[in-house]
Amino acid sequence: MYALIDATSFYASAERVFDLSIRKKPVVVLSNNDGCIVAASPEVKKLGVPKFEPYFKLKHILDRHNVVIRSSNYELYADLSDKMMAVINRFSDQHYVYSIDESFLKFDGYSDVVNSWYEYGHLIRRTVWRKTKLPVGVGFGPTPTLAKAANHAAKKFVGATGVAVIDSEKSRKQILANMTVSDIWGVGRRLTKQLKLFGIESALDLAKQNPKMMRKQFSVVLERTISELNGVSCLSWDDVKQRKKEVFSTRSFGERVESPFALKASLVTHCSIVAKKLRKQGSLTKRLIIFAHSSPHEDNYYKRSFIQKLAVPSNDSTVFAKQVELVFSQLFQPGVRYYKAGIGAIELEDDMHQQIDMFNVSDDKPELMQCLDTINKRYGSSSLRIATELQSNQWQMKRDWLSRRYTTRWPEIPLIKC
């Protein structure tokens, strides 16, 4: 049995953990630079406010309903996510954190211990709520895809209680019949349209298709999805928890950037972010993409990107920063109003198994990086940085409605009235 557990409107719920004045109010959270709505509490969803729409377009509706606006407080979300995952982790010996607010549990040999998955789900929900004040939904199913479907039912269906279980032919059919194909894990918008042409509308319609035929028409991925929907596990546990094959850090600027110092500072900051992510998952990269461009909606669209091959695979922030230094004079063009820049590590390999090169010696300094990571973990991220990152903060995000970092910074901990 698998379970998928995720937090309900995680960002919006996280904002409510320490700000009691908005516990009962409708809340939306905006993306980087306060651009789009990325999370909306259930009350806002009821108002029919769509996600991923630009904030300025919806400002009047939100104002009319007194919706609370927040900028993304990543420091807070990351810490609350860690705590939530640690609580969930206690419910099975096999746990995989899929994203900041979603994780899978796998249960081998639990059927003797767990009498009712439904009750077990509610135990998980209650425990997470009590310890973290974050609401979660829990779905159980014999395959990861069915667990995900049950999770959808647990939150979206009429009379949903936050827990749903697929453990019989009846419950499987009932849940799949009430889902559209677009609600299935891994079925995107374009595929939904194509499937519609074949008259496949509900998840159950898709489950009834012949997997082999669908593989010919579409892809091996869809074939697997169909088998999974029929209770045949195709995604092995390792597939579910596959490491990322590419790691990117990119960001559009709060205001257009024209200074070379600000552009370089942003790129080197992205180097640090990407390198840290690689170190965390134990990967090295062979190729880096370094890019910057102006807005495609303005005149004189300008874009440059460089693919840099590293002589020796690396996950060292300073090695990446040197690559930025190498291409920067070609990348930067005076007079361009930069809109976005970023770094991507695109050819990853495991840092445990690698080919040693006799002629190229690695410039990586693992001890230095470990020291850097340790210090930043203890004193807050970016306490210690590459000096270039500090040349300018002009490129920083716009976060006009940022809440306090209640759990990671001493001066921002909650006040308690005595």
Judged by the rule CB under 8 A, the positions of this chain that interact with other proteins are: 18, 20-21, 23-24, 83-84, 86-87, 130-133, 406-407, 410-418
Residue 34 C-beta: closest distance to other proteins, Å: 24
165 bridge partner residues? 140
- Give whichever of 50 and 414 is closer to other proteins, judged by the CB atom: 414
Contact status, residue 39 vs residue 76, Cβ threshold 8 Å: no
Closer residue to other proteins in complex, CB, 351/412: 412
Nearer to other proteins, 83 or 241 (CB): 83
C-alpha–C-alpha distance, residues 148 and 158, integer Å: 17
Q: Measured from the CB of residue 101, what is the shortest distance to other proteins in angstroms?
A: 16
- Please identify, using beta-carbon distances, which residue of 132 and 249 lies nearer to other proteins: 132
Question: Closest by alpha carbon to 281, among 189, 395, 401, 373?
Answer: 373
The residue (of 286 and 404) whose beta carbon lies closer to other proteins is 404
Q: How far, in Å, CA of 166 to CA of 1, rounded? A: 9
In whole angstroms, how close is the CB of 18 to other proteins at the nearest point?
8
Closer Cβ to other proteins, 71 or 132, answer by number: 132
Nearer to other proteins, 311 or 413 (CB): 413
Question: Would you call 414 helix, strand, or coil by DSSP?
Answer: coil
Query: Do the bridges between strand 136-141 and strand 163-165 make them parallel or antiparallel, or are there none, so unpaired?
Result: parallel
Min dist. Cβ of residue 381 to other proteins (A): 17
Q: How far is the CB of 418 from other proteins (least distance, A)?
A: 4
CA distance 393 to 112: 57
Cβ atoms within 10 Å, residue 165: 24
Residue with tokens 């969803």: 45
For the bound state, the minimum distance from the C-beta of residue 241 to other proteins, rounded and expressed in Å, comes to 21
Positive or negative CA dihedral for 242, 243, 245, 250? positive
Cβ neighbour number for residue 159 with a 10 Å cutoff: 4
Where do we find the tokens 């306060």?
34
Bridge partners, 393 (sequence order)? none
| Rounded CA separation 301/316 (Å) | 32
CB of 85 to other proteins, least distance (A): 9
For residue 246, give every residue at least 6 positions away whose Cβ sits within 8 Å of its Cβ, in sequence order, or none. Answer: 344, 345, 346, 348
- Residue 339 C-beta: closest distance to other proteins, Å: 35
Q: How far from chain centre, in Å, is Cα 298?
A: 30
Nearer to other proteins, 83 or 398 (CB): 83
Measured distance CA(393)–CA(329) in Å, rounded: 20
Q: Which is nearer to other proteins, 20 or 352 (CB)?
A: 20
Whole-number minimum distance, CB 248 to other proteins, in Å? 30
Q: Which is nearer to other proteins, 359 or 410 (CB)?
A: 410
Q: Decide if 73 contacts 15 (C-beta within 8 A).
A: yes
Evaluated on CA atoms 42, 45, 50, 55, the torsion sign reads negative
What's the min distance (Å) between Cβ of 14 and other proteins?
A: 13
Q: Mapping DSSP to helix (H, G, I), strand (E, B) and coil, where does residue 164 land?
A: strand
